[in-house]
Amino acid sequence: MNNYKIVIDPGHGGSDPGAEGNNIIEKDLTLKISKYMKEKLEKLGIPVSITRTNDETLSPSERVKRIKEFYGNGKNVIVISNHINAGGGDGQSVTNISITIKA
């Protein structure tokens, strides 16, 4: 196995609902998806943490602080920030992911 550690960041939360439509609120859905991902990764034995586990407001600096508190800011830390796009297009997207893997 490798020594990678994962931090999952459910987008939005608390006073920031994110996108809303069709009776779906982004902050709730990203939290549900993030908890599911964490559960599955834990079952695989992968070190994983989550920035929020309930409906709370986190500033950008608080999110970064929590991420660093879990595992530091080493090259072996992968951060997944979940968001649901509402500005055109269909489904979800992943943007600005940069991972360097060295054997």
Domain CATH code at residue 75: 3.40.630.40
pLDDT one-digit tens code per residue, 58-81 = 999 999 999 999 999 888 999 999
How confident is residue 101, by pLDDT bands cut at 50, 70 and 90?
A: very low
Domain of 15? 5-82
How many domains would you assign to the chain? 1
Judge if pTM exceeds 0.75.
Answer: yes
Would you say residue 55 has pLDDT above 60?
yes
Domain contains 98? no
Domain contains 74? yes
pLDDT of residue 16: 95
Domain contains 101? no
Domain contains 10? yes
Residue with the two structure tokens 């943490």? 49
Report the alpha-carbon distance of residue 35 to residue 88 in Å, rounded. Answer: 26
Domain contains 90? no
